[in-house]
Structure formats: structure tokens, C-alpha cells
Amino acid sequence: MQELSIIQPQDITESAPTSLQLGEEYSAATYNIGFGAYTPEYSFFMDGGKSSWAASKESVLNTVEGASSLIAALDPDFALIQEIDLDATRSYHIDQYELLRKALPDYYSTFAVNYDSAFLAYPFTEPHGKSKSGLALFSRFPIARSMRRSFPISTSITKFFDLDRCYSVSRFPVENGKELVILTLHMSAYGNSDEIREGQILMLCEDMEREYSAGNYVICGGDFNHDLKALADDNMERESWAYPFPREKLPEHFEFCIDMLCGEERAQLWNSARNADMEYVPDLTYTVTLDGFIISDNIKCTAYENINTGYCYSDHDPVLLRFQLLD
């Protein structure tokens, strides 16, 4: 584990609450912002599309600022954000974490690096280049502590695209002396082996179970890179990389929020991600729900929504959870 730095808000008011209250409604959003590259017209070489870099520096600024404004408009108490470039060839070396902090000045934040490549010379016509990227948690409440946990990753050629996969574990005091523990994650994709996927899920589940056994409240959110709508035996047609998440691996007392919806609500839920093998064309481009939340049973899900922007600022759209901590 690696301890993460916590950045304070620009202005801290003395009257701001320092602990979470039982029965109060809070909100959490998760959003993969796609390193500022994914306008609706963008396709990515790793998905079978064309581009390795974002279209331009101006395009990156526009998409990250648009995504930041969207998060600010949702006004969540907690924002879990993935694919934030700190310094990368593909996004013209724009510090996207800084842009997000400027858009969310009243939030505490912490950042974990999950992709750090000195220089990737592929594809040869437009080398992906240097990348330093990661995931962040923004919070209206003081973060007591935040740690980075490394996922097991591939040792094959895919490791160059999947380096340093991780999740962060952040802690918040609750009025009853327990803690709310938020795990912010971005799991592996791009054809990784069953062994890698299973190893990541096992590690995650062990950490969630450990925190619950200690009496804490647990939220795990982010980009799971699994088809969260699909079940293993539903016989639905899907892309080869869109594996159903193995629900049977979840520890007792944990459930995906999407599974708390009735059948009609689940079916009507906007898909949180699009395939980037082509530009986004409604009713033609493959879409899937990769993003969401797992919560422990001492937390009540009061509302759950996938936000439909038409993939305006990323190949993902945000997911919004409203919840209460139970006594």
C-alpha cells in the first residue's frame, strides 16, 4: 500500500461538517473522463479505431472542462473519476487533475497513479508516447486517510497498455465512530486473462469484506470494465471483452446498486459506455454499462441513475448514486 496525499479545498469553512451522519442522504458520482480525448467523433486505436492521441490541445481542454462542469452540476458529495492524465503525449501534456480541482474548488481530493509509461512507440504512425495518468476521489468531507492498492496485472504485451492498475481506499469518519470507506477503481480491460480478472476481483472482495467485518460502511465505485447489466446465464449477445461481473464472487452483505433496480428500471437504464472502435452513432455504436457502485448492506441506495449526455465529453457517461448510512 502507498499513502496518498490529500489536497485541501481552497476555502475551508469552520462550520463545515467533519463527520458523516446516519440517515442523512448523500450522493456519489463515478465518471471515466477518457483522458479528454473522446468527443463523440473520436475512435481509439486500442478498440480498433483510428486515433492514439486526442484531436488537439483545444479539444482536450474543451472535453475536460465540459466533463468538469458536468460533475459540478451533478453536485455530488463524492466524485470518483478515472482516466485523468497528469502529463501525457496523447493529451498534449495538459494536467487534467489541475483542471478538475479548479472546477471543484470546494472539494478535498486525492489522486492515485495507475498508468505510468515512459514512452510507448506504438502505433508507429502516431506513437502513444509518454503517459502518466490515474484516478481521483473528490469529497465535500475531510478525507481522514487515503491509500493506493496495486491490482495484479498482466505480464504479457498488454502490460504496456495496462501498467500499474490500482484502486484507492479512502476513509471518512461517521458520527457513530465507524468509517465510510470508499474504494475508487478502474479495473483491467483489453483482453486480459481470466487469471488477471479473477485476481483483481478476489483482492477487491477481500478488502471490502475486511472493512465490513470491522463495522465500517463500504462503497466501491468506478469503471469495472465488466458488463454490469449482464448476468452469466442470460445468453445475451455481447462483445468478447464485455464479460459479465461474476456476482457469486461478491462477499456476503454486498450488492451492486444496479441489481437493486426492478427489471424494467434496469432495462431502461442508459448504458454508461460506448465502444470506441468508431465514432458514436446512436442506435448503431455498441454500448454497455461498465460503470457503477457496489455497496454494503448497512448502506441504503435511495436513488440510482446513469446520466445520459450522449457520450458528449467521454466514451463514458456518469453514474449517480444517492445513499444513506444506516444505524
CATH number at residue 182: 3.60.10.10
In a domain, 300, yes or no: yes
Nearest to 44 by CA among 93, 98, 83, 79: 83
Phi, psi for 72 (deg, rounded to 5)? -60, -40
Q: Give the chain's domain count.
A: 1
In a domain, 17, yes or no: no
pTM: 0.93
What residue type is assigned to position 236 of the chain? M
In a domain, 317, yes or no: yes
For the chain, first and last CA: distance in Å?
Answer: 30
In a domain, 229, yes or no: yes
User: What pLDDT does 117 receive?
Assistant: 74
User: What pLDDT does 120 receive?
Assistant: 60
Per-residue pLDDT of the chain (327 residues; tens, 9 = 90+): 899 999 999 877 766 778 999 999 999 999 999 999 999 998 887 666 667 788 899 999 999 999 999 999 999 999 999 999 999 999 999 999 999 999 999 999 999 999 877 656 555 565 656 789 999 999 999 999 999 999 887 665 555 555 578 999 999 999 999 999 999 999 987 555 778 888 999 999 999 999 999 999 999 999 999 999 998 666 666 666 778 999 999 999 999 999 999 989 999 999 999 998 899 999 999 999 999 999 999 999 999 999 999 999 999 999 999 999 999
CA distances from 231 to 198, 225, 234, 238, 259 (A): 16, 14, 5, 11, 10
Nearest to 307 by CA among 144, 63, 139, 74: 74
In a domain, 12, yes or no: no
| DSSP character at residue 15 | T
Cis peptide leading into residue 40 (ω within 30°): no
Range of the domain at 165: 2-7+25-325
- State the Cα angle at 216 between 213 and 219, rounded to 5°: 110
Sequence length of the chain is 327
Query: Which cell numbers in the block locate residue 312?
Result: 458528449
Phi, psi for 203 (deg, rounded to 5)? -60, -45
In a domain, 15, yes or no: no
In a domain, 315, yes or no: yes
User: What pLDDT does 194 receive?
Assistant: 79
